Amino acid sequence: MNPANYILLSALLFSIGAIGVLVRRNAIIVFMSVELMLNAANLAFVAFARMNGNLDGQVVAFFVMVVAAAEVVVGLAIIVTIFRTRRSASIDEPNLLKY
Amino acid sequence: MTEVLPAEGIYSLLWVLIALPAAGALILLLGGRRTNTWGPYLGVLTIAGSAVIGVLMLLAMMDQSAEQRTIVQNVYDWVFVGTFQASFALQLDQLSIVFVLLITIVGALIHVYSLGYMAHDPDRRKFFAYLNLFVAAMLLLVLANNYLLLYVGWEGVGLASYLLIGFWQRKPSAAAAAKKAFVINRVGDVGLSVAIMLIFVTFGSITFQDVFGQASEASEGTLTAIGLLLLLAAAGKSAQFPLQAWLLDAMEGPTPVSALIHAATMVTAGVYLIVRSNAIYNAATWAATAVVIVGLITIFMGAIIGSAKDDIKKSLAGSTMSQIGYMVFAAGLGPIGYVFAIFHLLTHGVFKAGLFLGAGSVMHGMNDGVNMRRYGALKGLMVITFITFMAGYLAIIGIPPFSGFWSKDEIIHAAFERNSIIGIATILAAGITGFYMTRMIAMTFFGKARWEEDAHPHESPAVMTIPLVVLALGSTFMGMALLFWGNIEYWLEPVVGYESVPTPLPTWVYIAVTLVVVIIGAIIGWVMYARKEVPVEPPHGNVLTRAARQDLYGDAINDVLVVEPTYTSARALTTFDTKGVDGFVNWTATFVGDLAKRLRRTQSGFARSYALSMVGGAIVLLVALILVRLS
C-alpha cells in the first residue's frame, strides 16, 4: 500500500470540493463541497502522520473535525436565516455588499 | 576709563524721565473720550516735567568732575538667559544728557505749538498721546545702557513715527506714506538686529560699557561688519542714502510731527547710534569710510531735492536729509568729527524745528496750502513768523553769529583736517544750502502775492508764535552758547573722544571761503526767485530739476531694484506653488482616486468570484513554490 495514493486521493477530493464551491450556486451544495475539502485535508494529515510515524497529523485532524463541526453549526444557521428572508438558497443572489 | 556711578540724588529720577511721557500716552490712549478736554494739556505737562528733570540733572552733572558724569540706574533685570544678560538699565552721561535736553525742551515747545496747530482737529487727544509715546520711546533710545534696550526705543520711535505720519489716515497718501516709512525703516532695523546678534557673539555682552571696553580686541573684519550693519540701521532711521526715500513722503503727517520727529529728534537717532558706537568705528576704518561716503552722497541728494521742490515741507525735508548727511559725514570722520556731529545735531534740532514750525504757521494762515508758488509777500502779514523764520534761515545757511554757522563750520573744518577734496565738497553743499533756503524765503515771504483766491493770510495765535520765538532765540544764540560757554567738544570728549589735527591753511581761510560760497548761493537764489516773477505753474525746468522733483528717482530706483523683483519673484513662487507643489500633490490624489475607482469594481459582491480569486491565488503560489523548488 503506497502512501502516495492516499495523498493523490486527498488531492482529488480537494479539487472536487474546490470545483464544487466554484461552480455550484446552491448554498447547501457549496457547504457540502467545503466539507469535502476539509476532509480531504484531514485525509492528507492522517496520511502524512502515518508516513512520518508520529501522531501530530492525527491530532490536527481531530482539531479540524471540531472546527468543521462548529463551522457547520454557524454556517447552516446563516443559510437558514438567509433562506427565510429571501426564499432562496442561491449564493449569487445576496450580492448587496459590493462597490 | 570713566567710572560708573550709581543713580543717587536727582539721578534716582532717571526712570521718571521716561515714565512721565509714557504715563501720559497711556492715560490718553486708555482714557478715551473722557480725556478729550484736558488730555492735550496733560500731554504738554508730562513733557515739561521731563524737561525740568533733565535740566536739574544737567545742573547736577555740571557740578561733578568729568570722570564722574556716567550714571547707570538698573531699573530691573529684564532678560537673563544663560550668558545672555540684558538689564532694563538706564545710562546717563554727557552724550545722553544733551539728547535728553534736546528731546524734552524742543518736544515741549512743539507740544505747546500743537495746542494751537491741532486745536480744531477732532482727534487731537490721540495726537498728543502719540507725541508722548514718541518722546518716551526716544528718551528710552538715548538713555539705554545696552543695545537691546536701545533697540526697544528704536522700534518705539519707529512705531510712533508710523502712527503720526499716518495720523490723517483718511487720506490715502498719508496711509501709504506711513506704510512706506515703516517698511523702509524695517530694512534698517534688520541691520540693527543682526548687528546686536553679532555684537553678542563677538563680545559676549551687549552693554555699552563691556562692548566698548573690549572693542579693540575683536578682529577688524568683525568690527567692519558690525560697523556696516549699524550704518544700515542708521541709514534707515536717518533717511540716508540708499534708504532715504521715506522721509519726503513722511511730510504727509501734521507739521508739528514733521518738526519733532522728522527733523529735530527721531531722524537723528542714526547719528546717535554711530557716535555712541564710536569705539567700533574707531577700530573699523572701512566702516567709518563708508559712513563718510553715505553722508556725503546724502548731503548732495538732500540739497538737490530741496532746491527743486515747490512743497515747502518737502523742500525742508530735503534740507533735513542734507543736514543729517552733514552729521553722519562728521560722525564718519572719527574723533575729529564726533563732537561736531552732535554739535550740529543740537543746533540743527533747534533751528530746523523752528523752520518747520514756521512753515506750519505759514500753512495755518494759507488754508493748509503747501505750494510755495502760491505764497509770496507774506512778510508784512506774518511778522513774527517771518522774523523767526529768518533766524532759522540765517542759522541753517550758516551766517555768523547764528547757531548753524558755528556747527557747520566746525564740520567743514574737520573735513579739511581729513582730506581737502571732501572738504571742498562740503563747502559746495553749503552753497547749495544757501541757494535753496533763499529760494524758500524768497518764494514765501518776498515777491508778489500769488495766493489762492480764498486765502486770507493772518498771523498765528500766541500759543504757536511763542514756541517760534523761543526756537528763534535758540537758533540765534545756541551755537555760541554751546561752543564758548558750554565747551561742547570738551563736554562730550570723555564719551566720544576728541582730537584736532592741523589743517594745511589757517582756519579763517575756510570760514571765509565757506561764507563767500554760501552768499553766492544765496544771491543766485535771490536773483532767480525774488527779482524775477515766480510762475504759478512750475516751469519745465532742466534735467536736474525734473529729477529732483521726482526725489532723484528714489522711488523709481526702489521700484526697479526691489519692488518689481520682489513682485516678480512672488509671482514666480505663487506659480511654482500652484502649478508645481500643488500640482504634484493634486495629481497624486487624482491618480490614487482614479485607480481606486477602477479597482473597486472587483468588489462584485459575488462570494463565488472571491472564492475563485482565492483559489487562483493559491494555485499561483503553489506553482511559484514548485518552480522555485525545481530550479
Angle at B45 between CA B386 and CA B156, to 5 degrees: 90
B265 band by pLDDT with thresholds 50, 70 and 90: confident
From the list B184, B188, B273, the residue with the least C-alpha distance to B233 is B188
pLDDT per position as a tens digit, B81-107: 888 888 888 888 888 999 999 999 999
pLDDT-derived band of residue B195, with 50, 70 and 90 as boundaries? very high
pLDDT tens for B312-339 read 888 999 999 999 999 999 999 888 889 9
Bridge partners for B73 per DSSP: B90
A59 pLDDT more than 90: yes
Cβ of A96 within 8 Å of Cβ of B612? The answer is no
Picking from B606, B614, B619 by the largest number of A CB atoms within 10 A of its own CB, the best residue to mutate is B606
Does the distance separating the beta carbons of B604 and A98 come in below 8 Å?
A: yes
Q: Amino acid identity of B588?
A: T
Report chain A residues whose CB lies below 8 A from the CB of B608. Answer: 21-22, 25, 30, 91-92
CA distance B127 to B179: 18
The per-residue pLDDT for B623 is 94
Distance of alpha carbon A74 from alpha carbon B483, whole angstroms: 112
Q: By C-alpha distance, which of B253, B237, B243 is closest to B175?
A: B253
Cβ <8 Å between B603 and A96: no
- The DSSP bridge pattern shows strands B84-92 and B70-81 to be antiparallel
Establish if A84 touches chain B: CB-CB under 8 angstroms. no
List of residues 6+ apart from B333 with CB closer than 8 A = B288, B292, B414, B415, B417, B418
Instruction: Name the percent of chain B lying above pLDDT 90.
Output: 37
Average pLDDT over every residue of B580-604: 92
For residues B93 and B68, the answer to whether their CB atoms sit within 8 Å is no
Confidence of residue B573 (pLDDT cuts 50, 70, 90): very high
Give the pLDDT of residue B2: 61
Please tell me the distance in Å from B612's CA to the nearest CA on chain A.
6
**Residue B587 confidence (pLDDT) above 90:** yes
Contact B604 A21 (CB under 8 A): no
- pLDDT for A42: 94
d(CA B222, CA B224): 5
A37 — contact with chain B (CB < 8 Å)?
Answer: no
B-chain residue closest to A30, CA distance: B608
Mean pLDDT (chain B, rounded):
88
pTM: 0.78
pLDDT band at A1 (very low <50, low <70, confident <90, very high): low
Q: What distances in angstroms separate CA B473 from CA B93, B97, B312, B395, B591, one per listed residue? A: 26, 21, 22, 11, 82
Render pLDDT for A17-52 as a digit per residue (tens, 0 to 9): 999 999 998 999 999 999 999 999 999 999 999 888
Q: Where are the beta strands (DSSP E) in B482-589?
A: none
Instruction: Tell me if B158 sits within 8 A of B262, measured CB to CB.
Output: no
H/E element, B92: strand B84-92
CB atoms within 10 A of CB B4: 13
pLDDT at B381 over 90: no
Q: Answer whether B282's CB lies under 8 Å from B335's CB.
A: yes
Q: B323 and B253 in contact (C-beta within 8 Å)?
A: no
Segment B110-154, tens digit of pLDDT: 999 898 888 888 888 888 999 999 999 999 999 998 899 999 999
- If you average pLDDT over residues B593-609, what whole number do you get? 89
From chain B, pick out residues whose CB is under 8 angstroms from the CB of A18: 615
Query: pLDDT at position B191, please?
Result: 92
| A21, A25, A96: residue with CB nearest B605 | A96
B603 interface with A at CB cutoff 8 Å: yes
Q: Does A95 touch chain B (CB under 8 A)?
A: yes
At B338-376, the pLDDT tens digits run 999 999 999 999 999 999 999 988 888 888 888 888 887
- How far does chain A reach from its first CA to its final CA, in angstroms? 52
Written as nine digits, the cell of B391 is 533766524
Min Cα distance B599 → chain A (Å) is 10
pLDDT of res. B189: 92
Inform me whether the pLDDT recorded for B66 exceeds 80.
no
pLDDT of amino acid B214: 85
CB B501, CB B336: distance < 8 Å: yes
Residue B192 has pLDDT above 90, yes or no: yes
For residues B49 and B43, give the distance between their C-alpha atoms in angstroms, rounded to a whole number.
10
DSSP state of B539: P
Higher-confidence residue of B504 and B196: namely B196
Q: Bridge-partner residues for B315, per DSSP?
A: none
- The predicted pLDDT at position B619 comes to 93
CA B270 to chain centre: 7
Query: Which of the 8 DSSP states describes residue B214?
Result: T
Helix/strand/coil (H/E/C) assignment for every residue in B351-375: HHHHHHHHHHHHHHHCCCCCEHHHC
Q: B211-238 as b/e, with b when 16 or more CB fall inside 10 Å?
A: bbeebeebeeebbbbbbbbbbbbbbbbb
Span of A90-99, B138-147, B246-255, B302-311 with lowest mean pLDDT: A90-99
Cβ(B208)–Cβ(B87) below 8 Å = no
Amino acid at B78: W
Whether residue B1 is predicted with pLDDT greater than 70 in this model: the reply is no
Cell numbers linked to B514: 565757506
Q: Can you tell me the mean pLDDT for B199-224?
A: 87
- Of residues B217, B177, B475, B196, the one with CA closest to residue B354: B475
pLDDT digits (tens, 9 = 90+) for B477-504: 888 888 888 788 888 888 888 888 887 8
CA-to-CA distance for B32 and B251, rounded, in angstroms? 27
Q: What was the pLDDT predicted at B253?
A: 85
Write out chain A residues lying below 8 Å of B605, CB-based.
Answer: 95-99
Beta bridge partners of B144: B90
pLDDT value, residue B592? 95
In the predicted model, is pLDDT for residue B590 greater than 80? Answer: yes
pLDDT digits (tens, 9 = 90+) for B29-43: 898 888 888 888 888
| Interface-testing mutation among A14, A22, A31, with chain B (most B C-beta atoms within 10 A) | A22
- For chain A, count helices (H), then strands (E): 3, 0
* CB within 8 Å of B62: residues ≥ 6 apart: none
CB contact under 8 A, A21 and B608: yes
Reduced to 3 states (helix: H, G, I; strand: E, B; else coil), residue B74 is: strand
Q: What is the mean pLDDT of residues B199-209?
A: 88
The C-alpha of B610 sits at a distance from chain A's nearest C-alpha, in angstroms, of 9
On the question of pLDDT at B446 being above 90, the answer is: no
CB neighbours (10 Å) of residue B546?
13
CB contact under 8 A, B605 and A22: no
Position of cell 531694484? B561
Query: CA of B44: how far to CAs of A24, B106, B127, B135, B515, in Å?
Result: 103, 12, 12, 11, 39
Strands B4-6 and B84-92: unpaired
